[in-house]
Structure 1
Amino acid sequence: MIDVLFEDNHVLVVNKPAGLLVHGDETGDETLADIAKAYIKEKYNKPGNVFVGVVHRLDRPVSGVVLLAKTSKALARLNELFRSKKTIKTYWAVVDNKPAREQQTLVHWLVKDSSKNITKAYSKENNKGLRSELSYQLISQQAGKYLLQVNPVTGRPHQIRVQLASMNCSIAGDLKYGAAAPLPDKSIALHARSLQFEHPTLKTPVTVSAKPPHSPIWLPFKDLNTEQL
């Protein structure tokens, strides 16, 4: 089953559940791309192979908006939009600690250790690191938890996770970056809330948003006015 948020002849936007891979890895587990291909093949009764291009990724334990291309032309154009930072990505993150400032821009140099699949953040320029920037604001406080709205400017591996952890605001459930305890479903409380992009052929603006999962960590925030992006 796939949660389709927007679809036409060129793009498919879905709400990825936490725990699902976007693209294949060494585990060989089923991926979002696999499920999307099966969905298109069945819905449109397509013979032979179905094209699905992965434009961007979310970490496995993260949920939310993922944009897929249904044609090679759309994939090339959307890839260029992401490369040139002409998209707007908005995330929600539930953290256990209140940030010292209710809104702020964070800049770090991130160095990824591929052998351990972990990223380290440095507050000063590091010649091995990639400059990484995001802004956040505190938008709700419920039941001892804090909901941050995060807008990354760059798109580095584990960027939001490690940059929030650097200010003692580890994302709930994210043991890799300092969370005190796992969540029951092994997810982390990071959700790709919305994506704004230019349609690859129509050249019109598209905004797609996804509701957070129906899991206990998100329930205190279910009545939040989700139209405020």
Structure 2
Amino acid sequence: MLTFVPSRAVVKSKIENQESRIKNPFPMHLQVLFEDNHLIAVNKPAGLLSQGDETGDRTVMDWVKAYIKHRYNKPGDVFLGSIHRLDRPVSGVIIFARTSKALKRMTELFRDRKVTKTYWAITTEQPDPIEGSLKGYIYKDTSKNRSKIVPKADSNRHKGAKMAKLDYRLLGRVGTNILLEVKPETGRPHQIRVQLADQLKTPIHGDLKYGSRLRNQDGNINLHARKLEFQHPVTKEAVKIEAPIPEIDQLWQLFAEMTEW
């Protein structure tokens, strides 16, 4: 198995975004977690979009394109395929395809649930029980950009409602702050956020949209995409990519001693 766990040091490369649609060029420090000719994975900072929307705000995708263009001195546009997304206020590992072949195959791996996803979440409520599984139908209200759990009997009335499944367990506690490991089997909109809040009654710290009573100063939430595990779509090797917790977040640093790096 190829395991990638970077040190705390980031790959510091000042990159000015050359995509004309971005309103303001920006220098960023890019933490590359994995890179080969087919794929690239980075540690997404909370607060950054995964890819473009109507706001025109900067995105991880633009960030990675600029990094590739700069590092390999590539002329013209750079191909980068979006495989999955992380919500804007979420941090952690996100992976992109550098070739169309890798994009097709990785998309199939995610679709067929052959990618194991592990998240860490901080909450102030202890789950009962401390380990278990959650299942429910999730309906996304696009007008409010909010998901909710609906009864199975109402899943037909709520057009587009889909079954969501995840496993969770308590990893540790520091004072009133509790660290959970969450492994979603499905990939529904806001799935972890709404299932922890509505079904387990443990809203994620800072997630005001889903019931947290505590706000983070930067407006982000304490949900971190910790790890991805899959068979490489081209080389067929087993790959495990881990993303260090955010260094600048004091709440995350309470649990730093529990990590292996």
TM range, smaller chain:
over 0.9
Q: CA deviation at 1:122?
A: 2.6
Q: CA deviation at 1:71?
A: 0.6
Partner residue in 1 for 2:255: 221
CA distance in 1, matches of 2:70, 2:95: 20
Q: Are 2:239 and 1:211 equivalent residues in the alignment?
A: no
Q: Are 2:112 and 1:101 equivalent residues in the alignment?
A: no
- Report if aligned partners of 1:95, 1:147 keep a CA contact under 8 Å in 2: yes
CA distance in 2, matches of 1:71, 1:43: 17
Once the two structures are superposed, what CA deviation does each residue of 1:116-171 show, in whole Å capped at 9, x if it has no partner?
00001135452232000000000101121110000000000000000000121000
Amino acid of the structure 1 residue aligned with 2:39: V
Amino acid of the structure 1 residue aligned with 2:92: G
Partner residue in 1 for 2:174: 142
Q: CA deviation at 1:181?
A: 2.1
CA distance in 2, matches of 1:73, 1:92: 31
Partner residue in 2 for 1:32: 60
- Report if aligned partners of 1:107, 1:123 keep a CA contact under 8 Å in 2: no
Q: 2:227 aligns with which of 194, 199, 207?
A: 194
Amino acid of the structure 2 residue aligned with 1:218: W
Structure 1's consecutive aligned runs of 4 or more residues displaced over 4 angstroms after TM superposition are: none
Alignment gaps of 5+ in structure 2: 1-28
CA distance in 1, matches of 2:168, 2:231: 23
SS in 1 for 2:110: helix
Q: In the TM superposition, what are the counterparts of 1:87-166 in structure 2 within 5 Å?
A: 87-125=115-153, 126-127=155-156, 128=158, 129-166=161-198
CA distance in 2, matches of 1:160, 1:123: 17
Q: How many residues align?
A: 227
SS in 1 for 2:252: helix
Tell me whether 156-165 or 208-217 shows the greater mean CA deviation: 208-217
Once the two structures are superposed, what CA deviation does each residue of 1:36-90 show, in whole Å capped at 9, x if it has no partner?
1110001001111100111100000000000110111110110000010000000
- Report if aligned partners of 1:90, 1:149 keep a CA contact under 8 Å in 2: yes
SS in 1 for 2:108: helix
Q: CA deviation at 1:191?
A: 0.1
Amino-acid identity (%): 51
Amino acid of the structure 2 residue aligned with 1:200: P
Amino acid of the structure 1 residue aligned with 2:222: A
Alignment gaps of 5+ in structure 1: none
- Report if aligned partners of 1:58, 1:66 keep a CA contact under 8 Å in 2: yes
Cα 1:115–1:93 change in 2 (3 A) is same
Q: CA deviation at 1:6?
A: 0.7
TM-score, structure 1 normalization: 0.97
- Report if aligned partners of 1:172, 1:189 keep a CA contact under 8 Å in 2: yes
Over aligned residues, Cα RMSD in angstroms?
Answer: 1.1
Q: CA deviation at 1:225?
A: 3.5
CA distance in 2, matches of 1:203, 1:11: 13
